[in-house]
Amino acid sequence: MLIGELIVPRVGLSVMVREGMDSTTLRRAVGHVPSTALPGQPGNFVVLGHRDTFFRPLRELEKGDTVQISTTRGRFTYSVESIEVVEPEGISLGAPPSESVATLITCFPFNYVGTAPRRFVARARLRDGTPGGEPH
């Protein structure tokens, strides 16, 4: 199922977001973690992508960058607040229920050959949303 389009203008990233984390989904798009919030909703909207395909531009991401997510429900603008590199088991998918955040996750380092040992995690807070249309 198509969720929408994720755009990070400053790094030239524009990619479709599909529901799921399976290999078929991640070959075609970046994947939304099903147990997490949808764009604009309270909670954490979590998206995974491969570092050597769709999420390669994230290597240029900086705090303050804009992340836009366009869906049939509206367009949501987030601002990157933190970027960190963690062990795979160090990833937290939770967010306080009153907050609306987006988390982008990919493997790290970006130029590693083989299965990368760490994860690049960027968290962005909802800055502006213009809901419209019907939810999926």
Dump pLDDT digits (tens) for 38-97: 998 999 999 999 999 999 999 999 999 999 999 988 999 999 999 999 998 888 887 777
- pTM tops 0.75, yes or no: yes
**CATH fourth-level superfamily of 2-131:** Sortase (2.40.260.10)
pLDDT given at position 134: 41
Q: For residue range 36-47, list pLDDT tens digits in order.
A: 999 989 999 999
**Count of residues in the chain:** 136
**CA separation for the pair 27, 24 (Å, rounded):** 5
Q: Which residues are catalytic?
A: 50, 107
The DSSP call for residue 87 is -
Would you list the domain boundaries of the chain?
A: 2-131
Token pair 């769709």: residue: 54
CB 38 within 8 A of CB 71: yes
